[in-house]
Structure 1
Amino acid sequence: MSRKLLLGVSAAALALPLRAQAQDAAPVPQSTPEANSANGAAVAPADPEEEGGLGQIIVTAQRVEESSQRAPIAIDVVSPEELVRQNVIRAEDLSRTSTALSATGSTGGPTTVFFVRGVGNATVNAYSDPAISFNYDGVYIGRPSSTSGVFYDLQRVEVLKGPQGTLYGRNATGGAINVIPNRPKLDDTSVDFSLGYGNYDWLTGQAAVNVPLGDKVAVRVAGSLSNHDGFQSDGTGKQREYAGRFQIYAEPTDQLSLRLAADASHHGGSSPSGFYLGKVDPTFGPTGFAGYSFTPTGFSPRQGLFDPASQALLASRFVSQAGRAGQVVDGFPFNDDDYWGVTGELNYETDAGTLTIQPAYREAKLAYQFNGVFRGAFSAEKDKQTSLEARWAGDIGTAIDYLIGGIYFDENIAATARYDQQILTPYQDFTTGTKSWAGFGKVTVHATDKLSLTAAGRYTADKKRFDGTSNVYILFCGNPAPPQDFCPNLPFIPVLETEQQFIDFYTSRGIPITPVPLFVLPPFAGGSQTAPFVLRSPIVINSGLNNDKFTYRLAAQYDITPRNMVYASFETGYHAGGFSFARGVETYKPETIDAYTVGSKNRFFGNTLQVNLEAFLWKYRNQQFSQFGYDLGNPPATVFLTRNIGDSTIKGVDLDVDLKPTRNTLLSASVQYLHAVYDSFTYFVPNQGLPPNSTCAYAPITQTVNGVPLALYQIDCSGKPAFNSPKWSLILNGEQTIPFDTFHVVLQAGTRYRSSSYSTADYLPFLQSKGNFVSDASITLGTNDDRMFVSVYVRNLENSRRQLGGTVNTANLVVSAVEQPRTYGVRIGGKF
């Protein structure tokens, strides 16, 4: 789909006046859905006689429509009002809406890293699949780089906590995120809009137009944009995004409905470059090596890597392998990513049941450059995915409900990439693909009026293929062993687009490119202990993987009263293996999870108090862990790789409370206690003389990798807390409406707390994400007919910017990133 068409759809929608999606607008009139739940979902009242109470939330998390209070599953539902209030523009913004979810945008381009209760992986390239299933409009999205451009004109977002091994498009060990757009309505002619402007020159807008075409057909067009300046001093962290969606819906008969949807989006701007948190240096005493010292730079998180002071610090650092100082960062980051997709949905209702068929096709064309530990890292990628899902839902009398279905998923990726680390650069060219087939089913037996028993199962077969080459070039100033060689005129690896340009750059300067290190060759073969050279070390993978697994779910639900229930479940999850461009760890195995859950969902006091409680115990096995680190080559290369690191036990309690003490007051609280610890966690790094910089236990070993004996360190982090798993997470929200004759004022405030957590495998204290509060507030003036509103807001009142881990670059500088700063602005909206 062309960018011109996308611009046209977005502009057409945004040019029209429109209905406020605003959560900041006051409560809607009594005859319409009203705010409810800890996440503020817009829903219809539970009982007509109790319109002032909390409403019910209809979800489709189990592939059928049901009240979230009646579903025996762990789920957070985020309303469109809450999405606007929390300014959810990209997938990483969702972490502000759920205590269980950690969603972070990396400094590596358009990708988003999802963790649910310590389960997830840092999938930031095309090699591996995410552990959290992201589904948009009922379609599984295979790439975490393709989750942007969908957060507008939504019914809701569902965050499912725990393995999804039965009903969803791909198996997921950690959970699922379902993004569900508003559908066209046959009996509604409406236009909705909201526009916002804030600091960092932040312009946001959403619009939707719904038009019936006769009695049986309706069309809905929606669009969005979000543009802001960079959050860092060097101008990085800029956002330029817009999106558009078109849907047509028809009901030819009372039994048959058809919907066709097309969407497209563009992701521009740039990723944050990161900032220098500190420097790490080895220290030595009378007996030799004495450890590592960390010295903070004192730099603000706003001070990007292109800031003159940052460049001066980098240039001052001596790199022993290159025999010189003087590094620079000059590969300025950018994003130029386009996405589009089409899907159809057919529903045919009969007396025996309902047939649903949903085919879909999606494409992504990515070109982006980023920094972090890199001088400049570039990736160009073309993703194509095709899927077809069919389901049949029915019942047998009043005692049995059932659902059966199947899905086919086919994904193909072609990519090139280069990652310039000043003294090491791989040039990668590869294709990879996944074909997945699955059949699934679910049956619920209503044993009595109060007791229901559910069994669900799924068989999945995954076939993966990876074909490609990564030519790794490593720069040396002579022999890296002491004594130190000096090469003051040896150029660091520059940012060059092609491998041939790289070869020409060094050979034209008389620096040989060789497959064997010069210092191991005899002089008659061109060997030298002091001459600089570039080592060429290719990594070739032409391989396939076949994985299959049966996963299942067993659950029981007992209704104490019509508004109080308890449930228990056991379910399994599976996540397929994959590939890495890393010698010695070219492939990794599937991971699995077993999850035990008990919970209770309740309404009290005339439907004004909701209390939901859940306790969970997960057993996570063969966990896949993705990180930037060393492979097991000779010599080793720093690469991004995924490996199986071990097992963990995850347990905790989730409490959600909503209280509506008066018609105009809504209070909510969500609290999660999480205890996630690795039962076993071991991995290996090359032994290059000095011990690893880690708080985990380690020991030197020798291991044969690909037929070559290597000196390694085995690192054992068993007993350490799981990644991205704060022990305490808390969300508090309050809303008070002050009514007047023709208008109302809504006061809203909330805060989110997360205790400290780790996201890197070295567990260094300076890379710990410290516990923090992040609060927001807004004041909204709206008309009583909900036709217009104006709102002023502030987010992150404390300007508390939680650290997002960090990585050490070739100059032993720690490069880190942080969350968004304080933002504020004004928003207007309306409906016609």
Structure 2
Amino acid sequence: MNKNIYKKFISKRSILALAVANAFTAQVAIAEEVDSDEAIETITVTSAKRVQNIQEVPIAVTSVSGDDLVDMQINDILSLEKAVPGLTVASFGNNPQAILRGAGAAGTTDIAVPIYHNGMYLPSSGQALAGYIDIERVEVLRGPQGTLFGRNTFGGLINVITKKPDLEDFDFGVAVTGGDYDLQKLEGFVNVPLGENVAFRLTAADEQRDPYVENVNNKKAGLKDSDYSYVRAQVLFQISDDLSVNVGTSYWEDTANGNLNWAYKSIGVPLDKDDPTRINPIDGFIDPRMGTYTGCADGDRPGGRSQAGNICNGDEYADIVGGDYTIDYDYTPDRKLEETAYYLNVSWDFAGHNLNVNAAKFEYESKNIMDAEFSGNPAWIDGTYGTRNSHQVDLTITSTHDSAFQYVLGAYLFDDTDSDNKSAYIFGSLEESWYGYAGATPETPSWAYWNSEGYGGTKSTALYGQATYSLTDKLNLTAGIRYTEDEREWTSSNTLPWDASQRLGPDLPTFDYTDREKTFGDDEHTDYRIGADYQLNDDVMVYTSFSTAYIAGAVDNVTHKLLDPQENEAFELGVKSTLLDGSLRLNSAYFFGKQEGLTTTAFIDKGDGVAVATQIPGGSIDSEGIELEGFWDVTDSLVIDFGISLDMSEYDEFNVSTGNLVVGGVQPIGVDEVDADGNGVFVMDGKNTPYTPDTTIGVGIAYTFDLGDMGTLVPYVHTYYNSGYETNRAPVFFGEQDSYTKIDWSLTWRSAEGDWSAKFWMNNASDELITTYTEILSRARVAKDYAAPRTWGLRVAYNF
């Protein structure tokens, strides 16, 4: 075990030690007082690559059923955090990012907490924006899971499992939802048995919604709207009692304006309170403007975009329009996300084993061209586009015989090195200027000559296995291992020609790769897990584990080798219990770990005694906390669900570049170090990691009123408390999200037969302003991204 982890283990903060002790003692004490009748519904999961009762799985896992997703108004990954203690979902343009136990907060070269879909890895986080439609359940596994899953799982994973075709009965369902912001949503499914051994299931949805963010300059260019279509088709072949084959395909398209590439709401420039000619991101104030501040009677102020105008001249767009959900940009976003997926699952039971083959192919494209200067002037646009085609196969053999020794063996192949997998950040002008944009107009942009494109990908092969041996009727020992080989390749194009006439046009530019060589790198790594679980009695299990995780480093352009990987060593101690005559399910987990090799800013000597700031692997995070979740059937009518997270994760050694806070060569106040080129960094050692609130508490309460022949009426209230967190990696004052309490509620009527339902819901009823991301733009401008305001709607459904 890493020495730093050992030292951390023997010097635990008293608050966490007390919390762990109290949780453990309470669960054992309650269990000793009663006998379990297993009154609450048993939840089965496949998180350990076999079907198990969630209370028997010795890892921290949360399972949210499809019905619960509907009841809690969880429509996609962006709203999943209220059901999973310790989960935070940050919004980065088209790329949501899940953070668990500090993982994903900073410095990884791939997704730290990936999304899996029916056990298949989604290589782009933008693919996670597909809505939750006709879902069986969502399983969230916390902590490294590399010995059972083929790729990444650095801090855990989220596995979305869809409903499969049913051989028994013809079935169908439909739901219609309307709400504020002119929300219109239609969703449904049909299940058709085609004889005794074949069944077909079709699922589809379409959603339209006006923007949350109003654009007062261009009504067509509001943000945070919805224009979304989804369809999924599956065919199940039950070839024999032991052999089944399920094939499926899905397609979804999102053409809404969506979000900007960065945060959407510019709030101003951070200045020093005593000297407004200096940038001060540590304890300054926000000067609410977009444009420059030059030639004023009280002197110039740094920061701001000249394209937005001059405050001192009274230019129209130099000031920021008021309102957290109001903007005044001119450019109508050009945005489209599109994915086509193909799935194959083969399950064969033979000789006390199950052979399971999962295969998938994803074809994903994204484009997001937006206003770049955040104003009503037709000046700059920028954006990203990319294609991510990939295919993968996961083969597992799982023991199913009755034996003290149970095991899973697996092989995993992943490849997204398709030559069409090109991506780029691009910048362009909508007006002529003296520096290379001759002929540019809003209808025919001129793309910047310095733009370039790149393509490449990863081939990954993994062999893994995990085994559990029942030493006694109560004590199980578990060991697992995964060996991974990663091959990465990358090349970038030539930049665009200087001749502006060759860069004009409404379409995306075409790049030239003549004489450009690919950069290759490869690495191999072994991860492992060791653990034990002990059944104290019929109702309480304690478990412990130590596990590692790995993400391959980026390709070094000089050595053509992979840089050092990111690694995570994690310890977990947990208790799972079913209490109060089986009416209460109460699970808790304590964790700590060390994440190393994270991409951080460092000063490198160029060889002439001059140090410059660059990005290297070498940063680290200490993660530590406790999670508690439960479900309590208080009475036949009253149900309470709850989740609590205490997270004390912090940077161990980590530097953050000041980036665009350097204005006019003048360093901002509060920078810890400065290099020869004038770039500065903040030293973050010992500070909290972003997007990891110290405390979150979620409590949901539902009460069922029996109306007899008229059915039932169920009011549900979910309250979510968040103690606050940083929304930027740097310790900037404008990156702090204060504590808040968010309330969602609904009122659901169901018919006596259970076929019909109507639900009125309101999300964020307390109308909290919640920052999900803070960006520092060029010229020290600050922009924020906010979660949705208060919304409401009515959903009417038949059998769905």
Change (3 A) 1:397 1:812: closer
Query: Which letter maps to 1:57?
Result: I
CA displacement at 1:578 relative to structure 2: 2.1
Q: Distance in 1 between matches of 2:239 and 2:468?
A: 31
CA displacement at 1:205 relative to structure 2: 2.7
1:355 partnered with 2:355 = yes
Give the counterpart of 1:729 among 696, 706, 713: 696
Q: Distance in 1 between matches of 2:256 and 2:753?
A: 39
Give the counterpart of 2:427 among 419, 427, 437: 419
Is residue 471–residue 539 contact of structure 1 (8 Å, CA) maintained in 2? Answer: no
Is residue 318–residue 325 contact of structure 1 (8 Å, CA) maintained in 2? Answer: no
Q: 5 Å matches for 1:455-534? A: 455-469=479-493, 471=495
Cα shift readout 1:637-685 (whole Å, capped 9, x = no counterpart): xx9x975351111111111132211111101211100001111112556
Is residue 305–residue 373 contact of structure 2 (8 Å, CA) maintained in 1? Answer: no
1:591 maps to which residue? 566
1:387 maps to which residue? 392
Change (3 A) 1:339 1:766: same
Change (3 A) 1:117 1:563: same
Q: Distance in 1 between matches of 2:387 and 2:731?
A: 35
Query: Which letter maps to 1:113?
Result: Q
Q: Distance in 2 between matches of 1:676 and 1:403?
A: 32
1:342 maps to which residue? 342
Aligned residues: 695
Query: Which letter maps to 2:455?
Result: T
1:119 partnered with 2:95 = no
CA displacement at 1:253 relative to structure 2: 1.1
SS of 2:493 mapped into structure 1: strand
Percent identical among aligned pairs is: 22
1:316 partnered with 2:314 = no
Give the counterpart of 1:654 among 622, 627, 645: 627
1:524 maps to which residue? none
Query: Which letter maps to 2:714?
Result: V
Choose 666-675 or 92-101, whichever is displaced more: 92-101
Change (3 A) 1:373 1:473: farther
Is residue 490–residue 520 contact of structure 2 (8 Å, CA) maintained in 1? Answer: yes
2:300 maps to which residue? none
2:12 maps to which residue? none
1:432 maps to which residue? 456
Ranges in structure 1 where 5+ consecutive residues have no aligned partner: 1-48, 300-309, 475-492, 502-537, 627-631, 633-638, 703-709
Is residue 314–residue 811 contact of structure 1 (8 Å, CA) maintained in 2? Answer: no
RMSD (CA atoms): 3.9
CA displacement at 1:550 relative to structure 2: 0.2
Give the counterpart of 1:401 among 403, 406, 411: 406
CA displacement at 1:312 relative to structure 2: 11
SS of 2:40 mapped into structure 1: coil
Cα shift readout 1:497-531 (whole Å, capped 9, x = no counterpart): 56699xxxxxxxxxxxxxxxxxxxxxxxxxxxxxx
1:368 maps to which residue? 368
1:623 maps to which residue? 598
Cα shift readout 1:314-343 (whole Å, capped 9, x = no counterpart): 323699xxxx98999544323212111111
SS of 1:119 mapped into structure 2: coil
1:161 partnered with 2:161 = no
Is residue 232–residue 272 contact of structure 1 (8 Å, CA) maintained in 2? Answer: no
Query: Which letter maps to 1:808?
Result: I
2:716 maps to which residue? 748
Is residue 139–residue 169 contact of structure 1 (8 Å, CA) maintained in 2? Answer: no
Is residue 469–residue 541 contact of structure 1 (8 Å, CA) maintained in 2? Answer: no
2:195 maps to which residue? 214
Q: Distance in 2 between matches of 1:670 and 1:317?
A: 49
2:179 maps to which residue? 198
Query: Which letter maps to 1:129?
Result: D
CA displacement at 1:691 relative to structure 2: 5.6
CA displacement at 1:313 relative to structure 2: 10
Q: Distance in 1 between matches of 2:622 and 2:356?
A: 38
CA displacement at 1:580 relative to structure 2: 9.6
1:671 maps to which residue? 644
Is residue 777–residue 795 contact of structure 1 (8 Å, CA) maintained in 2? Answer: yes
Q: 5 Å matches for 1:40-189? A: 53-106=39-92, 108=93, 110-120=94-104, 128-189=109-170
CA displacement at 1:804 relative to structure 2: 2.4
1:262 maps to which residue? 249
Q: Distance in 2 between matches of 1:143 and 1:621?
A: 23
Q: Distance in 1 between matches of 2:66 and 2:279?
A: 55
2:474 maps to which residue? 450
1:253 maps to which residue? 240
Is residue 759–residue 796 contact of structure 2 (8 Å, CA) maintained in 1? Answer: yes
SS of 2:47 mapped into structure 1: coil
Query: Which letter maps to 1:388?
Result: V
Is residue 129–residue 143 contact of structure 1 (8 Å, CA) maintained in 2? Answer: no
Higher strand share: 1
Q: 5 Å matches for 1:511-660? A: 542-578=518-554, 589-624=564-599, 644=617, 646-660=619-633
Is residue 694–residue 763 contact of structure 1 (8 Å, CA) maintained in 2? Answer: no
Query: Which letter maps to 1:335?
Result: R
Cα shift readout 1:613-649 (whole Å, capped 9, x = no counterpart): 11111111112469xxxxx9xxxxxx9x975351111
Query: Which letter maps to 1:796?
Result: N
Q: What's the TM-score, normalizing by structure 1?
A: 0.77
Is residue 682–residue 715 contact of structure 1 (8 Å, CA) maintained in 2? Answer: yes
Query: Which letter maps to 2:241?
Result: D
Is residue 768–residue 805 contact of structure 1 (8 Å, CA) maintained in 2? Answer: no
1:485 maps to which residue? none
SS of 2:634 mapped into structure 1: strand
Q: Distance in 1 between matches of 2:799 and 2:118?
A: 24
Query: Which letter maps to 1:414?
Result: K
Query: Which letter maps to 1:339?
Result: E
Change (3 A) 1:313 1:803: farther
Q: Distance in 1 between matches of 2:736 and 2:339?
A: 35
Q: Distance in 1 between matches of 2:272 and 2:147?
A: 50
Q: Distance in 2 between matches of 1:421 and 1:139?
A: 40
Q: Distance in 1 between matches of 2:345 and 2:720?
A: 38
Query: Which letter maps to 2:200?
Result: V
Query: Which letter maps to 2:757?
Result: F
Cα shift readout 1:682-703 (whole Å, capped 9, x = no counterpart): 25567877564475x512344x
Q: 5 Å matches for 1:227-306? A: 227-234=208-215, 235-273=222-260, 274-281=264-271, 291=280, 293-295=284-286, 297=288
Query: Which letter maps to 2:404?
Result: A
SS of 1:766 mapped into structure 2: helix
Query: Which letter maps to 2:783?
Result: V
SS of 1:577 mapped into structure 2: coil
Q: Distance in 1 between matches of 2:655 and 2:504?
A: 35
Q: Distance in 2 between matches of 1:499 and 1:216?
A: 51
Change (3 A) 1:89 1:562: same
Q: Distance in 2 between matches of 1:242 and 1:85?
A: 22
Choose 191-200 or 272-281, whichever is displaced more: 272-281
Is residue 644–residue 696 contact of structure 2 (8 Å, CA) maintained in 1? Answer: yes
Cα shift readout 1:361-392 (whole Å, capped 9, x = no counterpart): 11012222234767422333222111111111
Is residue 735–residue 748 contact of structure 1 (8 Å, CA) maintained in 2? Answer: yes
Q: Distance in 1 between matches of 2:311 and 2:247?
A: 57
Is residue 627–residue 645 contact of structure 2 (8 Å, CA) maintained in 1? Answer: yes
Ranges in structure 2 where 5+ consecutive residues have no aligned partner: 1-35, 216-221, 291-303, 321-327, 375-379, 436-447, 607-612
Change (3 A) 1:325 1:662: closer
